[in-house]
Amino acid sequence: MHKYTNENFNLVGFSSLITAVTLLFIYGINLFLKKIGLDIQVPFNILGILLIGGTIYFSVLFFLAEKLILRIPLLSKIYKVPNLNGSWEIKGNGKNNKTEKVNNWSGKLEIEQTLERISVRLTTTTSTSTSKSLTAALRFDEGCYILKYDYDNSPNNSAPKDMNKHSGSCEIRFTKDLLEGIANYTNIMTDRETYGTMKLTKVV
């Protein structure tokens, strides 16, 4: 997976919130220890040393928060971070820019995502090529999420002779329920520039 940008998610603000929660958590532990008669301070004690101080608290809380945001629809909506993890069936329609030849194809899109990283992998049904994302950006616009990414496409041995390794870009506009999407893509090759559209349907 690689890092991606999210125009609507403030990672710095989110980290600050987790930091505040971490300090409150440590303060709560200190109060509890004092209440039961242990006049020691976390993380400046044996327990703190074992947990490597507040850094561990922050890491654990950030990890839990990251999992919760992507899995709880309400939190995902508040922070505008959609859970795109999963597989998508694709129906594609491509056109050669030079010959204007139309090609209908199908495939599968797989997305793996966290708050900070994402991976988009597309494999055609005929298994002639596989594309993998290199960079990506996510934004929320007009009530839906839009994912734009650049990719490298690598043909396998069964691919047509005129299909070479190439790069391209794709923009996917997801429906509000994140179950479908419409995409536009462009393959950039010196001798075979193609473009087209894709219809995505999530595999539930």
| Confidence tier at 204 by pLDDT (50, 70, 90) | confident
Give the highest mean pLDDT range of 20-24, 53-57, 100-104: 100-104
Other Cβ atoms less than 10 A from the Cβ of 33: the count is 16
d(CA 128, CA 103): 14
Q: For position 78, what pLDDT does the model report?
A: 77
Q: Enter the pTM of the model.
A: 0.74
Tell me the per-residue pLDDT of 7-46, one tens digit each, with 9 for 90 and over. Answer: 776 665 666 666 666 667 767 777 777 777 766 655 544 4
Please state the three-class secondary structure of 35-59 as a single string. HCCCCCCCCCCHHHHHCCCHHHHHH
Contact status, residue 200 vs residue 183, Cβ threshold 8 Å: yes
Tell me the per-residue pLDDT of 142-156, one tens digit each, with 9 for 90 and over. Answer: 889 999 999 998 777
d(CA 86, CA 108): 10
The CATH code of domain 86-202 reads 2.40.128.120
| Domains in the chain: boundaries | 2-79, 86-202
